[in-house]
């Protein structure tokens, strides 16, 4: 298990854009499971949408990608690198995520070759799939 402080030692994201509260399972360069506690205090709920707060899909995708980034960057070989998005495929949203939900995100490495990587990620609220997609990354020195 990784705390938020340990996550910050692996990926460079910081408030308000660090979207993973905890990593509850990790197998470096294979798989990671992360948690995001969705609260009404999130900055994006001010405008998305007043009176009907819904977590923006792009924010969910970023949170899922951050979990994948932790899996890919948690090795000594990739320590200090940045994971840049190069593409997304087969993204689907199944239902809205609202304040009070806990997002559990599972990211599994599909392929890694050189500085390129591809993950499949899914996000759940309780046991219900709420979002999924394939993410491609380039690992680069800052």
Which amino acids are annotated catalytic? 48
What does residue 112 show for φ and ψ, rounded to 5 degrees? -140, 130
**For the residues of 69-120, what is the DSSP string, one character each?**
HHHHH-SGGGTT-EEEEEEEEEEEE-S---TT-EEEEEEEEEEEETTEEEEE
CA–CA dist 78, 93 (Å, integer): 31
Distance between CA atoms of residues 56 and 44, nearest Å:
8
Partners of residue 25 on adjacent β-strands: 33
Distance CA 54, CA 89 (A): 23
């Amino acid at each position: 298990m990784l705390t938020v402080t340990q996550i910050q030692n692996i990926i460079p994201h910081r408030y308000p854009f660090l979207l993973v509260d905890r990593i509850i399972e990790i197998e470096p360069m294979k798989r990671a499971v992360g948690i995001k506690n969705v609260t009404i205090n999130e900055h994006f709920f001010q405008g998305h949408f007043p009176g009907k707060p819904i977590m923006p899909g792009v924010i969910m995708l970023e949170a899922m990608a951050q979990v994948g980034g932790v899996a890919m960057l948690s090795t000594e070989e990739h320590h200090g690198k940045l994971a840049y998005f190069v593409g997304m495929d087969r993204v689907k949203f199944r239902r809205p995520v609202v304040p009070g939900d806990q997002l559990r995100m599972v990211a599994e490495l599909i392929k890694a070759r050189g500085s390129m990587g591809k993950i499949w990620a899914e996000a759940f609220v309780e046991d219900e799939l709420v979002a999924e997609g394939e993410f491609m990354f380039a690992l680069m020195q800052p």
